[in-house]
Structure 1
Amino acid sequence: MAKQIEVTDVDAYYSGHKAIEGISMTIDARAVTAFIGPSGCGKSTFLRTLNRMHEVIPGATVTGKIRMEEQDLYGADVDPVSVRRTIGMVFQRPNPFPTMSIYDNVAAGLRLNHRYSKSELDGIVEESLKGANLWNEVKDRLPKPGSGLSGGQQQRLCIARAIAVRPQVLLMDEPCSALDPISTLAIEDLIAKLKQEFTIVIVTHNMQQAARVSDKTAFFNLAAQGQPGKLIEMDDTTKIFTSPSQKATEDYITGRFG
């Protein structure tokens, strides 16, 4: 299921203003890649270019190449909706559909794309909730609203919703920033389990989290406010945190700026 992504010389713009510039990297399959860097350096913008969420903003454009295996994700014949189905996303704040039950939250994407029997849906919902390590907590309250869960449970519900449609890549934009330490630990444990099946990319401002959960880390920075964000370096997480190649990376990790 999991697939590698190759990024070549990507720039992203908002209404003509360049937000990120010249990003090139390889995102490995069945691994966790963390994006770190100060606020405003383009981490989340770049994350959104990977599944074409960036272009839902009016005036937003992308140049360069993003390929998943042999497919050009920005090819003229490629449907953006199919890209977003293949490359799922979990956002900073838990966003379960407020009027839907726990069951219907997980099944929502499935019902959009195919016709499933009730038994098929039941099986996928259970499998997805188990995959998000939530099944035992909610199996007796599936008809209850998803919005009635705790913050950490809601975020795991959103992860269950994302993996239910069987994506090949899972993008996470600061998925633990609104959570308490115990819920954060649950999400981190879940990420470690999910990488066996998915390619995972996570944006985080938590240095310790990046060091704990990721296999590779990419450090982004910008020369000055108003300038486009750039990829400064990317390497194995252990190397980034112990002997980075760039002084700016070392300064950020050690807290000298950012």
Structure 2
Amino acid sequence: VTMGAGILSGCLWGVVPGVFKAKYGAHEVILTIMMNYIALHFTGYLVNYILLAPPGYLPATRVINASAKLTRLLPPSRANTGFFVAIICLVMVYIFLWKTKWGFEIRAVGLNQEAARYAGINVTKNIVLAMALSGGLAGLAGALQVQGIQYRFNDLFAFTGYGFDGIAVSLLGNNHPAGIILSAFLFGSLNCGALQMQSVAGIPKDLIGIMQAVIVFFISADYLLRKKLEQPLGEEINVRRGSAGQEVAK
């Protein structure tokens, strides 16, 4: 029930930016970042004024029931059965995106909306569907975090930064489930090791953030270089000739 509630709330939340992107061309990253603050302050109000656990010293809800808690795999480690739920979701997403007609349409719309529209694909429907499904997965991730680690909803829960890590993980994994699971392990290991590194060796954990930023930088640079190298030679020559002609005219 807890996982289902997380999925449903995430789907409904994801539909909103999906509609704005499909109807008005709004940028989904900017819009969802703006909506993060709405969710942050709305849940903060609920936690501090409606769902606050007595006696009220800690801005958090009551601890969830024992039946909703996920089983720890290697106590005292926080690893729990949510890991297997994530693997199952990964396989299901792969099957959906690469083995079904709906997944093909979503990928086609993501690659080129105009080409997909000319091919008869409903672009608006697929954008909203993609955002709803991604929101559902994000809601499930939040539910697993509560069920497996925190056991309650804390104020400022959304400021942990997992969503922004997800963008970097997706970039490093080339937006493919097989690559994403490897990049997720890499980033998870870096984040976990950062805390140990700071407490044991006295090395600032911010160094890990710098390493992650460098990884994303080189991935982005690779994309830009590929786009540059894929430019047809004739087009590049014409561009240079046009620039030279403009200089002569001046």
TM-score range, shorter chain: under 0.3
TM-score, structure 1 length as denominator?
0.21
Q: Which has the higher strand share?
A: 1
State the structure with more CA Rg: 2
Q: Which has the higher helix share?
A: 2
TM-score, structure 2 length as denominator?
0.22
